[in-house]
Amino acid sequence: MKPQEVLALCREKDVKAVDLRFIDFPGLMQHFTIPVNKLTDDVFEEGLGFDGSSIRGWQAINESDMLVVPQPGTAFVDPFCDIPTLAMICNIQDPITREDYSRDPRNVARKATAYLKSTGIADTCYIGPEAEFFIFDDVRYDQNQHEGYFHIDSIEGEWNRGRDEGPNLGYKLRYKEGYFPVPPADQLMNLRNEMMQTMIDCGLDVEAQHHEVGTAGQSEIDLRFNELVKMADSMMLYKYIIKNVAKRHNKTVTFMPKPLFGDNGSGMHTHISLWKNNEPLYAGSGYAGLSDLAMYGIGGLLKHAPAILAFSNPTTNSYKRLVPGYEAPVNLAYSQRNRSASIRIPMYSASPKAKRTEFRCPDPSCNPYLCFSAMLMAVIDGIQNKINPGDPLDKDIYDLPPEELAKVPKTPGSLDEALRALEKDHEFLLRGEVFTKDVIETWISYKLEKEFDAVRLRPHPYEFCLYFDI
């Protein structure tokens, strides 16, 4: 869509307001709104000013002026506003130099795709994420000087089998058995259908929706793969729609990786493939039907996985999901069918166009622009340096003898460990100035100070269970 087409759409839909959106450093969408008559041709070129000093991880107060530049290709009519409102994602620029801002996550993703083209390896990176999330009926939480707790509830939760619900109809999903019972056990089908249809109405290409393994409303809605930047844009709209449809029904959604103890966490298995001149580059005659190029890409992902996890699994809660011995893919290995390996080669189709690799570590708490870009940069490094991924791990990892399992590398065990890995291994991200040093340094310092240390310094409720009577 071009600027003139956006303006025509505003007239056609009798739009009254235009919502300008952008993504902060950790990955939350931000916005402000202008009257539709303030959206002119010039705005698409010149942008509009705002204060960047209050955005997490961005400018200092003495250099706070910034520009949002609307991107017409991202325009859609917002289905949740009371008056007709058109929304667009914006790029961020410096008002003096007019340079794209280094810490704008969308800018990082745009530079990653440009760098891919500059290498001559490929001209397109396709990304296909499978984001999981929980739909809850109630959530309460707090942490202060004298108390710390969370309380969540769901009509589906197994813990509510004995609750007086006037009446309790008994359809509660057992832990780890939410995949795929039909209604009435699946009590959220209609809600997920509404989420799916709203996504379609807003231009997203939805492939499927279903209940996930966890009790208490764990769900998944899958989008068809798309080019890297477009998919990151789509994931931001995806989260926005899911949260607002849930709110419309007095429910709430979280993309936290591990909100429930003792049941499955939420991951975001992410498929990646490279194409050139509309031809797939991952298909070949090697292991699992892969090309040498694809194998080198796997080698790059495995080599840099600990550093990538600083972006793909960027919360302290992420490492409550990535725990050895459970369902999460903590083993840095690859396999054509083994879901306990961190990289899987899906075997659903023999078509060369379907050939891709699936990185199973990421979770939906990530900033998709940074996560997808880090993955692509690792793949490029693997291809450029012909990194051998080693032998596949096609055995059942849980049946391996301890001495053999000990030889399989593991993902970092904490956010701190992942950030330290990024600190040591980030040269591959700096190529083409895709990730700049200020991005790496700010990401590490922000995450350590605002998140890792903030959690580390506070008493945990379970510590009272363990130690209060000492």
User: Which residues are catalytic, by number?
Assistant: 51, 130, 132, 212, 220, 269, 339, 358, 360
Q: Euclidean distance between the first and final Cα of the chain, in Å? A: 66
* DSSP 8-state symbol, 175: T
Distance separating alpha carbons of residues 152 and 163, to the nearest angstrom: 15
DSSP per residue over 304-333, as a string? HHHHHHHHHS-STTHHHHS-TTSSS--EEE
Residue 89 burial (C-beta neighbours within 10 Å; 0-12, 13-18, 19+)? buried
| Residue carrying the six token digits 């890792």 | 452
Rounded to 5 degrees, φ, ψ at 262 are 85, 10
DSSP per residue over 410-468, as a string? B--SSHHHHHHHHHHS-HHHHGGGSS-HHHHHHHHHHIIIIIIHHHHTSPPHHHHHHHT
Distance separating alpha carbons of residues 407 and 202, to the nearest angstrom: 47
Length of the chain, in residues: 470
Using DSSP, state whether 257 is helix, strand or coil.
coil
| Strand residues in 65-154 grouped as ranges (E) | 65-70, 76-77, 85-93, 124-136, 138-143, 148-153
- What residue type is 152 in one-letter code? I
Q: In 3D, which of 266, 295, 308 has the Cα closest to residue 135?
A: 266
Distance separating alpha carbons of residues 105 and 87, to the nearest angstrom: 18
Question: C-alpha 391: how far from its chain's center?
Answer: 29
Contact 106, 60 (CB under 8 A): no
Angle between helices 189-201 and 228-248 (to 10 degrees): 130
Q: In 3D, which of 121, 159, 110, 168 has the Cα closest to residue 138?
A: 159
Q: With the CA atoms of 163, 168, 174 and 178 taken in that order, what torsion angle do they form, in degrees rounded to the nearest 10?
A: -130
- H helices of 147-218, in order, are 189-201
